[in-house]
Amino acid sequence: MRAYGAEFFGTFWLVLGGCGSAVLAAAFPEVGIGLLGVSLAFGLTVLTMAFAIGHISGCHLNPAVTLGLCVGGRFPAKEVVPYVVAQVLGGLAAGGVLYLIASGQAGFDLAAGFASNGYGEHSPGGYSLMSALVCEVVMTAMFLLVIMGATDSRAPQGFAPIAIGLCLTLIHLISIPVTNTSVNPARSTGVALYVGDWATAQLWLFWVAPLIGGALGALIYRGLAGEAVAKPAVKPVSA
């Protein structure tokens, strides 16, 4: 239960910090942090939580990461569903807190998107469904490649959170214009359910594409590095 709790609060922080920066600070008059600031905020949430809870749960914070680590032989299959449930609940809790904060501003409107992910007319740059699908699959695959490589027993020790946090920052710098960047079904769900309408109608893509990408990235890394050198990202919860 400690591991599940860590995943809940870790994902809570990721959604509150990342989506909160987009909703509250991205376009703040004169001192808005913009795309670069939002990208950095998402990376910092993962970096800080990796140091805070990595030793408790492995700091997945993302159903695609949990599935990818399972496919990559780093995580027990029986723990996948409980981890995903904890992550989604953490994302929803963060979305609720963010709504309470954001709705206190005059003129607040959920229809503006509330940092939801989308494609077509709901893509920040007007990108198509196919563009969004390819982008999310490839970005998530590369994220898993970096995660598995940084936590490999042969990699420099102690630097994995930095590499992983910077990787997520880079992913956002690339893909915010395309989909507002998901690569994480829990992050997408955590805000989409409050928006409803188009956000929930398009939510399927931000589950399907990251999960495919996560599994693909793990398989690619196993092919490159070999299973024998893999260091478990976290001990099984039952151990």
pLDDT over 70 percentage in the chain: 93
pLDDT reading at 175 higher than 90: yes
pLDDT band per the 50, 70, 90 thresholds, residue 229: very low
- Whether the CB-CB separation of 42 and 181 falls below 8 Å is answered with yes
Each residue of 90-112: b (16+ CB within 10 Å) or e?
bbbbbbbebbeebeeeeeeebee
CA–CA gap between residue 80 and residue 158 (Å, rounded): 25
Task: Check residue 233 and give its pLDDT.
Answer: 45
- Whether the CB-CB separation of 184 and 62 falls below 8 Å is answered with yes
- Two structure tokens written together for 48: 């800080």
- Whether the CB-CB separation of 211 and 183 falls below 8 Å is answered with no
Task: Check residue 46 and give its pLDDT.
Answer: 96
Task: Check residue 158 and give its pLDDT.
Answer: 85
User: What are the pLDDT digits (tens) for 56-86?
Assistant: 999 999 999 999 999 999 999 999 999 999 9
SS3 state at 139: helix
Count other Cβ atoms within 10 Å, centred on residue 161.
19
Task: Check residue 29 and give its pLDDT.
Answer: 63
Compute the C-alpha angle 129/133/137, nearest 5°: 170
Task: Check residue 228 and give its pLDDT.
Answer: 45
pLDDT reading at 128 higher than 90: yes
| Mean per-residue pLDDT, 25-47 | 86
